[in-house]
A and B are shown apart, each in its own frame.
Chain A
Amino acid sequence: MVVQAMSAREAVLASIRAAQGGPADQSIPRLYSASVDLSPAEVVEQFADRLHDYNATVHHATVAAIPATIAAILATRQKTGLLIPSGLPPEWLPVGYTFRRDEGLSYADLDASQGVLTACDVAIALTGTIVIAHSPAQGRRALTLVPDYHLCVVRLSQLVATVPEGMRRMAALLPAPLTTISGPSATSDIEMIRVKGVHGPRTLEVILVE
């Protein structure tokens, strides 16, 4: 098996080397925009706008108001509690609700839950994207995937305007696995009609924190 694998490797590399050649390599132009001319307020507005576009619900809050905002959202959605990653700031959690830390929960536990509350690592306004690096405040990948509801706290310091700006911040987070989330899961496979929510969380709600 190993010998054969080595020979396939050598054979493919040899074919590549035999096939290469031709015009000398040119440099790669990078003349696209890495940034945009928007005020911080406009960037926030654009981010919220994009999220609306994706059918995600957006709330604004100050740091001090995070617990009250979470409590109000849970009350509206008639939820009694959520799962949380082990590193989520405890001061965010309102009293009167049950928050269960993901310490080795089974997939069945995740599936049966009322949803999950996490932070994020980066957010990109132009595309309404949330980036999660699965660090302690975001949890392992399954935690923001299997539950049907995801409530995500985005701090303005995490928000950038463009994809290149976002990618630069993401590069610093490697080799952690990265997930970019732009709205709830969706499909347009049936007659190109966008259906919100297939396998990932069908509802995404965001709290934007100043």
Chain B
Amino acid sequence: MSVHVGEAASALPFPEAAKKLVANSQLRRNVRHATNVIRTKRGRVIAEMDDWEQLRDSGKAIKDHTLAHLDEYLLQFEAACTKAGGQVHWARDADEANRIIVDLVKRYGSDEVIKVKTMTSDETRLNVALEAAGITPFETDLADLIVQLGEDKPSHIVVPALHRNRMEIRELFMKKMGLDSLGYQPEDIAAAARNYLRERFLRVKVGISGANYLIAETGSVVVVESEGNGRMCLTLPDVLISIVGVEKVIPRFEDLEVFLQLLPRSATGERMNPYNSIWTGVTPGDGPQAFHIVLLDNGRTKVLADPESRETLDCIRCGACLNACPVYRQTGGHAYGSVYAGPIGAILTPQLQSMEHSQTLPYASSLCGACYEVCPVKINIPEILIHLRTKVVDSGHAPLAERLAMKGAAFAMSKASRLSLAHAFARLGQWPFNDDGKLDNLPGLLAGWTEFRDLDAIPSQSFREWWSKR
């Protein structure tokens, strides 16, 4: 079995990648702007929910409960989906999943597919496998289209092209779509994408999607989206293939009422995203008449096996921890060398993939706790980061990780960042870890990251506060 997570294996260690990116001020401005906008909107729509904390508690409990019974719920889903006319496949790793999908596309005689944003297929590098088999994948999410046409990489799990501004996108579209002219407004650019994809939506016979939730009780699959490209891919083709991580199952239909409240408010700061599609197997006379779903492990059961960090699998990919993270806001997503960026990427990638390649990621944080504070399913990311650092130390990689982290400390230090560094040390001075032999030099490692902090981003709740409350 070989687990790979996008191109994380060949990526630069975080500090080296970050150093390059931090020097790119246009990129930093783009990332800063986008994350500020989402943070403001998120804050507004969460403040109006009196029961937000109760929803978070339920979301967390549903996810933890599911993980404790994951085999049962997957089997229940498989039975219900099969009964409704779906065909369920299982894949141990990325290559196996890609093989199943390539075989299916060929079996249905298509040499092209339309795709709705699926991080999981980015993780398995499905597009590379499809292209190698002579199958053309068309990404249809506007941001994914920007990434695909630009031969770029996604940098955010919800807004994958947030590192690009409109001028860059406009130029790219004109070049790749062969347009002589194109307006400067976002409306003009979106309209160009609509025209470019319209004919493909109506023509291509195989659609590929991920899923946000699988419902064990009913065998239903849920896709949450905004643009309608998801509905196009899920509805118009003759054949639909969904690739979904095993952790995406939830027990009951009623559980969805929790996540359909948590996700849009956390992800985009909307009360509800424009479209949710919920389908159960095959419906005669409506939508694809063949439905296949590939349930993917690719390292997830390895994460499940560690009780200290299995809650990583609770993640609903809302991206709130990225937007809140002072390190992410400085470096952007590419520094993480993985399709999963930001705090969730810093804990997920090294667990899915061997620690060797991504050992520096658990250090890509100042442990300020902002990610934990915003996470709709209360994943204790700082605690998992510390746990993974211990693992890095245990695996004998610490010297390299430390060296790299310290290199990171050589980044340009402004007066403001020196101030925040001092601020950070004031907090870190009271750490519960100083007497832990293995972690003696942690504050030194952390120092490498503290200058990423923004003074304005220091969360209201300090590390110590959440630590004592945990």
Contact = CB atoms under 8 A, between A and B. Distances in A.
Contacts of B273: 182
A91 interface: no
Contacts of B165: 191
A177 B229 contact: no
Nearest to A127: B272
A195 B186 contact: yes
Contact of A175 (B51, B57, B280): B280
Contact of A182 (B201, B274, B286, B297): B274
Nearest to B307: A22
B152 interface: no
Contacts of B159: 188-189, 192
B405 interface: no
Interface residues of B, number: 95
A5 B78 CA distance: 13
Contacts of B335: none
B62 A28 contact: yes
Given A128-B272, A188-B159, A199-B194, A25 B287 contact: no
A8 B260 contact: no
A177 B287 contact: yes
A175 B92 contact: no
Contacts of A26: 61, 64-65
A23 B253 CA distance: 25
Interface string B59-102: 00110110111110011000000001000011110001000100
Contact of A25 (B68, B89, B187, B189): B68
A175 B220 contact: yes
Contacts of A12: 90-92, 246, 295, 297, 301
Contacts, number: 247
A31 B227 contact: no
A19 B231 contact: no
Given A15-B297, A192-B159, A167 B246 contact: no
Contacts of A17: 71
A31 B91 contact: no
Contacts of A191: 30, 33-34, 165-166, 186
Contact of B33 (A9, A167, A182, A192): A192
A167 B226 contact: no
Contact of B166 (A16, A140, A190): A190
A141 to B, nearest CB: 4
B429 interface: no
A32 B229 contact: no
B162 A195 contact: no
B281 interface: yes
B190 A16 contact: no
Interface string B272-308: 1111111111010111000000010100011011010
B321 interface: no
B275 A180 contact: yes
A124 to B, nearest CB: 8
Contacts of B65: 25-26, 28
A7 to B, nearest CB: 9
B90 A5 contact: yes
A33 interface: yes
A164 B51 CA distance: 13
Interface string B210-226: 00000000101000001
B193 interface: yes
Contacts of A111: 198, 202
A178 B283 CA distance: 11
Interface string A156-181: 00000001101110110011111111
Given A192-B38, A193-B186, A195-B186, A179 B276 contact: yes
B332 to A, nearest CB: 15
A185 B274 contact: yes
Contact of B305 (A18, A33, A188): A18
B136 interface: no
Nearest to B308: A22
Contacts of A23: 307
A198 B190 contact: yes
Interface string B124-155: 00000000000000001111001000000000
Interface string B253-282: 110111011000000101111111111110
Nearest to B273: A182
A30 B404 CA distance: 45
A38 interface: no
B240 to A, nearest CB: 11
Given A177-B279, A177-B287, A189 B92 contact: no
A184 B55 CA distance: 27
Contacts of A94: none
A29 B169 contact: no
B228 interface: yes
B253 A171 contact: yes
B58 A32 contact: yes
B232 interface: yes
Contact of A145 (B190, B197, B228, B295): B228
A200 B227 contact: yes
Nearest to A184: B274
Given A16-B304, A20-B304, A179 B231 contact: yes
A200 B228 contact: yes
28 contacts: A1-B103, A8-B90, A12-B246, A12-B301, A15-B305, A20-B67, A23-B307, A30-B58, A31-B51, A111-B202, A126-B271, A142-B236, A142-B286, A145-B232, A146-B236, A175-B84, A175-B220, A179-B275, A179-B277, A180-B276, A182-B272, A186-B227, A186-B274, A190-B169, A195-B186, A198-B190, A199-B227, A200-B227
Interface of A: 1, 5, 8-9, 11-13, 15-23, 25-33, 50, 54, 107-108, 111, 124, 126-129, 134, 140-142, 145-146, 163-164, 166-168, 170-171, 174-193, 195, 197-201
